[in-house]
Structure 1
């Protein structure tokens, strides 16, 4: 099996989830036929269903919101082998917006080989690898109607309500990314049942640092350069504990303070002269690179003439020293 690094960074892992396996089977795809942005869209959709709606993701709901866009090779009629299709949000759908990158550059070059050791009788077995583009089938144009299922209508209304309340694709990505959860990996329970750092659905118990979150998160979603605060405004809800971000907020993995300080809090540091290594600070008259004209233009140092009182104090001090030493 051939897997790319970009897909793993966007929520795919082994063994694949039932929902991701259903998408591959329904659309006749292989993992490398799906573009990285589409894998991120699937991961966010799983997070929306499991974390906010508290229901397992279903294919009709996904098809209601997303359509298939064929990605063709420039100056050719065939589809691309890597990234044959892209799942695009249908026009007129009210869905959490995501400001994602237009494309992931050179993503097809970061591939590696992985042996599929899953049970052949399991439904989570990926199709055999073929180095070929996806074949178009009638399911690419299917779109269910709300009148077909009351459950679909109820889910669409709840998604509209969450979107009106300010839920964004950035929040969905931050929810699974900071908890080290791979949404497209098989799990025994849904995301709203997340318990904390010791939850078995986590890929790793260690939380990411603020710098690691800032660096990796920018690869997934388009974020302004001057923004250094990444907060999950609307995290997934869990049983009896409000939001699942409470434990992560205490460890500082969800929030990073801005690097720009306020002007009135900045300290004024003294200015020091930094010399090259091996150089000593010499008077102007002894510096070899200072021109004589420049030295002549400088005013001479004025010394204060000692007063009679200073001379008297100095003579008295010397007399005391001589008397103490027996001179």
Structure 2
């Protein structure tokens, strides 16, 4: 790689990059990102740091997660010195811890798996992406399938907002494009025996996730998961990922990616090609709001160490020789082979440094302090921060040079300085008081945690009672619906028997209760129409049968009038016959004809045929006679022999 390719130049973020960032929801938060204009060298505004598009699509997003803040501090690195594959390493590790191990990202576990190497050669020192995160050669970890190289990622730079944490040591270092990369103890820091014991269960679980037949978890699956749920692992989130609440989660940046967009993004950040299958889901169900952590799940907290009034041992500089000490690392940061070779070269460098002439050490500035380790490791570290007097030939002062490691430091026997010892004793007493206060706070926190556990148990009991009550209510509701369905079906059968009509639904719902109600509605409509027709007919007949009565107002009363034990038809015929007889008598009297009424009234001696013939002869003139007498025609009487009172 030519030297000019390593220099900063004007950012070349394309419209395609902008559309991708927008689709991923990374530009939604106001002022979270700022894009360079025409400058050819980064000049970030206050509270902004230099990053890259390829960092963002691999899980980075402001405000930045406290774990990567701690990593950058302990490793003594600015953000722009990490390669895209290194950023993806951290994203996968945080997702693994929170979604599949159920713990916060653990510093002790990180040290068991990862170390750092320079990204460069003996003749070139990169000023962009100069450090890569590697998997240790003796560790069995996920095969992430990184690409051999990420083309042109250094040219797509931009500014990300760095929200101050209140502690200057905890903030990401401001941008300094000309700063040297100083190799530190933390780059090769290994977990102590106590830390290994505390994290052994986590390592065992990782191996189970890798090797369980039929449920093997891979780095690509983990990557696809955090890309799909749209929560950036390297963003400071309100809730850990094991509480992920789906589409309504407060930490989601955008809606779910379409399958084709997700597959395209995974192929961009990995070595998979178009023929390789992209997993749509993990073979192991991750912890989330719908898959809660098991009861009594251990809580392990172990963050990168931060200073308490001074530097930490991990930041001790091993060498600052950029050219001679840098070893080449390809972008395949997960390669065990490259990590192993880098470790060997680092060991040779350290050996060469050990045999060099020792630097003079000022015993007055040699100090010791204890640090209470995080609850995940329960370890108390004793470390020494040694200030080294610079060589006479150096004209500039580097604040990190005072911690250079040299041989012979531990062999010196400095003279006793009473003043220094008195000052050290006072500082020790003050520190002991501080630790006592912290211990008291820790005990209070422990009591509060116990109270919280009791509260959780009470909530679980109440939830169990609520679930039991809900099950009982569901059973009662089911029995009631069954009884209602039986009664509806019984009413339907009665209606069919009464009307001799059976109906079928044109579009049944498929629900027995709803379909029975639909049939009942049809029966009701038919019954209402029949009653309306019956009322109309009875109302019209009522004046003929009950001349001196008013029609009842209700249908029931009207129907009862026609349902009496009397023969209403006979009464109607008798009334008609009476009118006819009276009319005949009146007509005969009007004509002044003499009639033997006694003989006429003796109907018993008249033969039936004779009676019928007389009626038949007079029938054609009956209407004329009645009209003459002023009577309206009545319904025709039966042809049978009438009864005369």
TM, length-normalised to structure 1: 0.68
Say which SS state the counterpart of residue 104 (structure 1) adopts.
Answer: coil
Structure 2 residue 133 is matched with structure 1 residue 87: yes
Whole-Å separation in 1 of the counterparts to 2:282 and 2:63: 30
8 Å CA contact 2:73, 2:169 repeated in 1: no
Structure 2 residue 97 is matched with structure 1 residue 49: yes
8 Å CA contact 1:37, 1:103 repeated in 2: no
- Alignment partner of 1:178 out of 228, 235, 239: 228
Partner of 2:266: 217
1:42: Cα distance to partner? 0.6
Structure 2 residue 234 is matched with structure 1 residue 188: no
8 Å CA contact 2:63, 2:161 repeated in 1: no
Whole-Å separation in 1 of the counterparts to 2:229 and 2:113: 26
After superposition, what is the alpha-carbon deviation per residue over 1:99-119, rounded to whole angstroms, capped at 9, x for unaligned?
Answer: 111221111100012443535
8 Å CA contact 2:76, 2:182 repeated in 1: yes
CA RMSD of aligned residues (A): 2.1
- Alignment partner of 2:114 out of 66, 72, 81: 66
Structure 2 residue 82 is matched with structure 1 residue 34: yes
- Alignment partner of 1:17 out of 42, 62, 65: 65
1:86: Cα distance to partner? 0.9
Say which SS state the counterpart of residue 246 (structure 2) adopts.
Answer: coil
- Alignment partner of 2:287 out of 230, 237, 242: 237
1:39: Cα distance to partner? 0.5
1:229: Cα distance to partner? 4.4
Cα 1:62–1:229 shift into 2, 3 Å: closer
TM, length-normalised to structure 2: 0.36
8 Å CA contact 2:231, 2:252 repeated in 1: yes
Whole-Å separation in 1 of the counterparts to 2:112 and 2:265: 30
1:242: Cα distance to partner? 7.6
Whole-Å separation in 1 of the counterparts to 2:85 and 2:173: 21
1:20: Cα distance to partner? 0.6
- Alignment partner of 2:250 out of 194, 200, 208: 200
Say which SS state the counterpart of residue 263 (structure 2) adopts.
Answer: helix
Cα 1:12–1:133 shift into 2, 3 Å: farther
Whole-Å separation in 2 of the counterparts to 1:219 and 1:87: 20
Structure 1 unaligned residues grouped into runs of 5+: 244-327
> Looking at both structures, which has the greater relative contact order when contacts are Cα pairs under 8 Å and sequence separation is at least 6?
1
Partner of 1:156: 203
Structure 2 unaligned residues grouped into runs of 5+: 1-48, 294-645
Whole-Å separation in 2 of the counterparts to 1:241 and 1:147: 31
Q: Which has the higher helix share?
A: 2
Whole-Å separation in 1 of the counterparts to 2:128 and 2:258: 32
Cα 1:123–1:210 shift into 2, 3 Å: farther
Cα 1:145–1:116 shift into 2, 3 Å: closer
Whole-Å separation in 1 of the counterparts to 2:272 and 2:292: 28
